[in-house]
Structure 1
Amino acid sequence: MRVLVTSSRNTFALDLIRKLGSVGHTVFAADTYEGAVGSHSRFLAGHLTTPSPRFETDAFIATVNAYVEEHDIEVVIPTFEEVFYLAARAADLPEGVRLYAGSFGDLARLHDKASFQRLAQDAGVPIPETVVVTSPDELRAAIESFPRYFARAAFSRGGVGLLTNTGPLAGKVPVEDCVPTVDQPWLVQPFVDGPMVCTYSVVVDGKVQAHTTYKAAEQWAHSTAIAFVAVDSTDTLRYTQQLVDALDPGFTGQISFDFVDHGSDAAPDYKIIECNPRPTNGVILLEADVVVKAIQGELAEPVVAVPGTERQITLAVIADAFTEPLSHLPRTLHDLLHVRDVGAGWWDGAAMLWSPATIAHGAKISHGDRKEVLAALGDDIVWNGEPIDGMSETDAAALEAVHAGRV
């Protein structure tokens, strides 16, 4: 295959590039800035810098199209929320190129946290008690109804912007900064003790091909995972297939879910929180041949990551250590000494040397606009539920249906 991987700034995009390239596929990368880590992998045949899909949609599509035609790209694999812009403009892509993602309507239904809760109910997957609010007054009333709560926007990501009165993020986001609206609602749920459990899956023609279930052994700023350990996939694999069946029996693409485990290691009791209709770092825990065969639909039965498999983003673990109390140091030292880095064995270290450029990109976007760098890192490639320039009437109607289908 001749493959273009977009949003190459992400560690999991770099991992996909390495895995596809290592087994003989010709891989290209794209992002909105030159310093994206994945754009400097030795496994690439080339890379390009594009306009922002969010702020310059027409120019983004035109740039991607020109590159696809110039390099005879067969498959475009999105790795972040540029997937929505590509899916909404799929009819404008060059003839013969395949977008490795679901339809815009399916992706929007998964991404809108409120409509996703309805989908989970329909699929028979357990969800926590949920209140959808569309005004600041409704938000205040909802959080007052729960002794312990957490709330976030229907369109949010990466554990950033959580409103809660419990745990390490308690009080970090003032309620005054949270302004739900009819177009941008928030979800309020009871805070329940228990670890977050995440999944990553490759799905082809409605069937899960490869699947990972993992916990975050370390988190950057108590939100985004930077160290990962695979756990048993029995329950989450079943739930993933149920969700795909309820969504679209013909769905093809990468899909990721977040659960909270209300039970124990011996007897997990999962409740689903949200979906990321794209890859996440769970792909790192799968072997290259499994991921590539899964993407091509070549696996007769789902392959899951082996429980106990561990990986970490070493540079992020080191950086995070400087923000944690001294009592956290033994855990950091243990991970640095014993947990395999995501880049181990690839002999591709030059790519990760561009990591400071990614942080600088986030800092540049966040400058003068009260955003954390972590939130700003993806600000030029996110989608928050608004109509997309050039989308079809069918997709516009699908978006309206998603809004109408919220819990």
Structure 2
Amino acid sequence: MPKVLILGARAPVALDHARRFAHQGWTVCVGDSISCRLSGWSQAVTTSIKLASPRFDPAQFITDLRQAIDRHAIDLVIPTCEEVFFLSRYRSALPSSCRVAVSDFEILRQLHSKWEFQSLARTAGGQPPASTLVSSLAQAREWAAGKPLVLKPEFSRFGVHVRIYPQGMPSQAAELPPMGRWVAQEYCAGIELCSYSIADQGRLLAHAVYRPAYRLHTSASYYFDQQVGQQAPSAIQTFVATLVQQLQFTGQISFDWIAADGQHPRVLECNPRAISGVHLFAMQDALPAAFTGSADQCVVPSNSRARMIAPVMRSAGLLQALRRGQFAGWCSDAARADDVLRIGSDAMPILGALVDMTSFTTTALRRGCTLREAATSDIEWDGEELAWA
């Protein structure tokens, strides 16, 4: 029986991967550097492995990972979060007998940079909005010349620190904080879409598109409305297939899109890691084969049901709908979506998520940081030089 080690076990996408691999006959181990009961308490997981922080102690992270691969005879390692950058950078220190689903570090760096990605996107036909690098609000204001724009740090995640000015930049806008280079980008109105894909050596082997229908403020989505048929423009899959072929990409790769008319999407940015599109695939869909490069065609979700993080949809989502007078729509949306935390009798991940959240909250209070920082700061990578571990 083949064995897989799924990293970033704090994330719902890791739980989803774990269940699918177990369903298809794999022995599943998960690993993380902080609380990860969300995945670790699932019936699909046989072992949870404690790792050092890849950001704060990369040498020990790689040592822990190498020892785990040897001890548990791991055949495949799959990152899900930003540990992918550290895993790629130090890949040569891991056993060559183990397959690691990552691309070359320089490729990941270019994709993660919201500035350098623009040229890659244009080459592959993604039609990204006009953009420029800025280091101050004055430079951004001069470049925009009163037109609508978006400002975002070159390296960021979950929409954090992003500023959206659909009516143009107001005179009282605050100065940009010192976070390295910023990207000023033409604002485009339209329908937000996200795509999630898996590639192996330049071959697109899995692909899904969804609309992030409900969000926590302007950040992460918790409702994933799958787009099929005419709702999922073929241009998106064509772009992804072209780009991964050009880069000879291996691993998971995700993109944010805007479609003004629903049919002509423009790519905004890239996340070279897993995102919530993982949830759209059924347990029998051949994502494990896509990761091993053995899929004989591009895998797409076998059903069109929406997915949601039910506890959030039934709390924050409900309150949001009530404030907006959209209760009927919320009821309809909730009824046509399946939960990603509890599937059948595998209910312990819900309790695990509560334990993890308590741990993150305690860390945030102790450090005086935000909940998001407590949950992700140990794996984030913002373009800094990574010395050999």
Whether the TM-score (by the shorter chain) exceeds 0.5 is yes
The answer as to whether partners of 1:321 and 1:329 remain within 8 angstroms in 2 is no
2:348 aligned counterpart, secondary structure: helix
The answer as to whether partners of 2:38 and 2:350 remain within 8 angstroms in 1 is yes
Question: Which consecutive unaligned segments of at least 5 residues does structure 1 have?
Answer: 392-407
Aligned amino acid, residue 30 of structure 1: G
1:242 aligned counterpart, secondary structure: helix
With over 3 angstroms needed to count, the CA separation of the structure-2 counterparts of 1:369 and 1:162, relative to structure 1, is: farther
Deviates more, 1:381-390 or 1:130-139: 130-139
The answer as to whether partners of 1:365 and 1:379 remain within 8 angstroms in 2 is no
Aligned amino acid, residue 235 of structure 2: D
Identity of aligned residues (%): 27
The answer as to whether partners of 1:15 and 1:284 remain within 8 angstroms in 2 is yes
Residue in 2 that maps onto 1:282: 277
The answer as to whether partners of 2:18 and 2:44 remain within 8 angstroms in 1 is yes
Residue in 2 that maps onto 1:350: 348
| 2:210 matches 1:214 | yes
Deviations 1:92-133 (A, max 9, x none): 113412211101111111111111001111222211011211
In structure 2, how many angstroms separate the alpha carbons of the residues matched to 1:260 and 1:307? 24
Normalising by structure 2, what TM-score? 0.90
Deviation at 1:213, TM superposition (A): 0.7
Residue in 2 that maps onto 1:151: 151
In structure 2, how many angstroms separate the alpha carbons of the residues matched to 1:113 and 1:69? 37
The answer as to whether partners of 2:210 and 2:224 remain within 8 angstroms in 1 is yes
Residue in 1 that maps onto 2:265: 270
2:325 aligned counterpart, secondary structure: helix
Deviates more, 1:24-33 or 1:218-227: 218-227
Residue in 2 that maps onto 1:338: 336
Deviation at 1:61, TM superposition (A): 1.2
Question: Which consecutive unaligned segments of at least 5 residues does structure 2 have?
Answer: none
The answer as to whether partners of 2:289 and 2:295 remain within 8 angstroms in 1 is yes
With over 3 angstroms needed to count, the CA separation of the structure-2 counterparts of 1:136 and 1:149, relative to structure 1, is: closer
| 2:94 matches 1:96 | no
Aligned amino acid, residue 16 of structure 1: H
2:372 to 350, 371, 374: 374
Q: CA RMSD in A?
A: 2.4
With over 3 angstroms needed to count, the CA separation of the structure-2 counterparts of 1:368 and 1:152, relative to structure 1, is: farther
Residue in 2 that maps onto 1:77: 78
1:176 aligned counterpart, secondary structure: coil
Give matches, 1:163-174, under 5 Å: 163-166=163-166
Deviation at 1:185, TM superposition (A): 1.2
| 2:241 matches 1:241 | yes
In structure 2, how many angstroms separate the alpha carbons of the residues matched to 1:36 and 1:139? 43
1:67 aligned counterpart, secondary structure: helix
Aligned amino acid, residue 147 of structure 1: K
Give matches, 1:1-400, under 5 Å: 1-142=2-143, 144-166=144-166, 175-180=174-179, 184-231=180-227, 232=232, 234-246=234-246, 248-249=247-248, 251-264=249-262, 268-288=263-283, 289-305=285-301, 308-321=304-317, 324=320, 325=323, 327-343=325-341, 345-367=343-365, 372-390=370-388
The answer as to whether partners of 1:215 and 1:230 remain within 8 angstroms in 2 is yes
Residue in 2 that maps onto 1:396: none
2:208 aligned counterpart, secondary structure: strand
The answer as to whether partners of 1:7 and 1:78 remain within 8 angstroms in 2 is yes
Deviation at 1:136, TM superposition (A): 4.7
In structure 2, how many angstroms separate the alpha carbons of the residues matched to 1:350 and 1:390? 39
Deviation at 1:351, TM superposition (A): 1.2
With over 3 angstroms needed to count, the CA separation of the structure-2 counterparts of 1:387 and 1:323, relative to structure 1, is: farther
Aligned amino acid, residue 132 of structure 1: L
With over 3 angstroms needed to count, the CA separation of the structure-2 counterparts of 1:104 and 1:137, relative to structure 1, is: same
The answer as to whether partners of 2:318 and 2:330 remain within 8 angstroms in 1 is no
Aligned amino acid, residue 165 of structure 2: N
The answer as to whether partners of 1:259 and 1:271 remain within 8 angstroms in 2 is yes
Aligned amino acid, residue 386 of structure 1: E
With over 3 angstroms needed to count, the CA separation of the structure-2 counterparts of 1:375 and 1:159, relative to structure 1, is: farther
Aligned amino acid, residue 205 of structure 2: Q
In structure 2, how many angstroms separate the alpha carbons of the residues matched to 1:326 and 1:109? 40
The answer as to whether partners of 2:233 and 2:265 remain within 8 angstroms in 1 is no
Aligned amino acid, residue 268 of structure 2: I
Deviation at 1:223, TM superposition (A): 1.8
Deviation at 1:235, TM superposition (A): 1.7
Deviations 1:336-380 (A, max 9, x none): 333211245442110121212333344345447775423542111
The answer as to whether partners of 2:305 and 2:336 remain within 8 angstroms in 1 is no
